Structure 1
Amino acid sequence: MGFAGFGERLVDFYDGLEADNSKPYWTDHRAVYEEHVRAPMVALLAELEPEFGPGKIFRPYRDVRFSPDKTPYKTHCGATVGGYYVQAGADGIMIAGGYYHMAGDQISRYRVAVDEQRRGEDLRRRLDAIGGAELTRAGDLLATRPRGVDPGHPRLELLRHRSLYAWRRCPGEELMLSPKLVDEVAGTWRTITPLIEWLTDHVGPTEQPRR
Structure 2
Amino acid sequence: MTGGFAGWPVGAFGVLLELEGEPSAEVRRRCRRDREELVRQPMVDLLNVVADADSAYEDFAVWRYGEVLLEAWQRQSAIVRLGRNVELTVRFDLDGLEVGVAWWYAPSDQIERYRAAVADLATGERLARIVRKLEREEFDISGDLLKRPLRGYPPDHPRAQLLRLRSVVARRHLGCDDWIHTPAAADRVIDAFSQLRPLARWLVENVSRP
TM-score, normalization: structure 2? 0.87
Matches within 5 A, 1:117-196: 117-196=121-200
1:139 CA displacement: 1.4
Q: Which has the higher helix share?
A: 2
1:185 CA displacement: 0.2
One-letter amino acid of the structure 1 residue matched with residue 31 of structure 2: H
Matches within 5 A, 1:1-211: 2-50=4-52, 51=54, 52-61=57-66, 71=70, 73-82=72-81, 83-204=87-208
Provide the identity percentage: 31
Tell me whether 140-149 or 157-166 shows the greater mean CA deviation: 140-149
One-letter amino acid of the structure 1 residue matched with residue 13 of structure 2: V
Unaligned segments of structure 2, at least 5 residues: 82-86
Q: C-alpha separation between the residues in 1 aligned to 2:194 and 2:159?
A: 25
Deviations 1:66-109 (A, max 9, x none): xxxxx375321111112211110111111111314322221111
Tell me whether 107-116 or 130-139 shows the greater mean CA deviation: 130-139
Residues 110 and 162 of structure 1, relative CA distance in 2, 3 Å threshold: same
Q: C-alpha separation between the residues in 1 aligned to 2:92 and 2:68?
A: 19
Residues 28 and 195 of structure 1, relative CA distance in 2, 3 Å threshold: same
1:31 CA displacement: 1.3
One-letter amino acid of the structure 1 residue matched with residue 79 of structure 2: T
Q: C-alpha separation between the residues in 1 aligned to 2:95 and 2:198?
A: 28
Report SS of the residue matched to 2:179. coil
Q: C-alpha separation between the residues in 2 aligned to 1:72 and 1:122?
A: 38
1:141 CA displacement: 0.9
One-letter amino acid of the structure 2 residue matched with residue 149 of structure 1: Y
Q: C-alpha separation between the residues in 1 aligned to 2:163 and 2:148?
A: 10
Q: C-alpha separation between the residues in 2 aligned to 1:165 and 1:33?
A: 28
Does the CA-based 8 Å contact 2:130-2:198 persist in structure 1?
yes
One-letter amino acid of the structure 1 residue matched with residue 65 of structure 2: P
Tell me whether 36-45 or 5-14 shows the greater mean CA deviation: 5-14
Does the CA-based 8 Å contact 1:138-1:164 persist in structure 2?
yes
Does the CA-based 8 Å contact 2:99-2:171 persist in structure 1?
yes
One-letter amino acid of the structure 2 residue matched with residue 38 of structure 1: R
CA RMSD of aligned residues (A): 1.9
Corresponding residue number in structure 2 for 1:67: none
Counting matched residue pairs gives: 200
Residues 3 and 62 of structure 1, relative CA distance in 2, 3 Å threshold: closer
Q: C-alpha separation between the residues in 2 aligned to 1:140 and 1:163?
A: 5
One-letter amino acid of the structure 1 residue matched with residue 58 of structure 2: G
Q: C-alpha separation between the residues in 2 aligned to 1:134 and 1:72?
A: 27
Q: C-alpha separation between the residues in 2 aligned to 1:77 and 1:89?
A: 6
Unaligned segments of structure 1, at least 5 residues: 65-70
1:149 CA displacement: 2.1
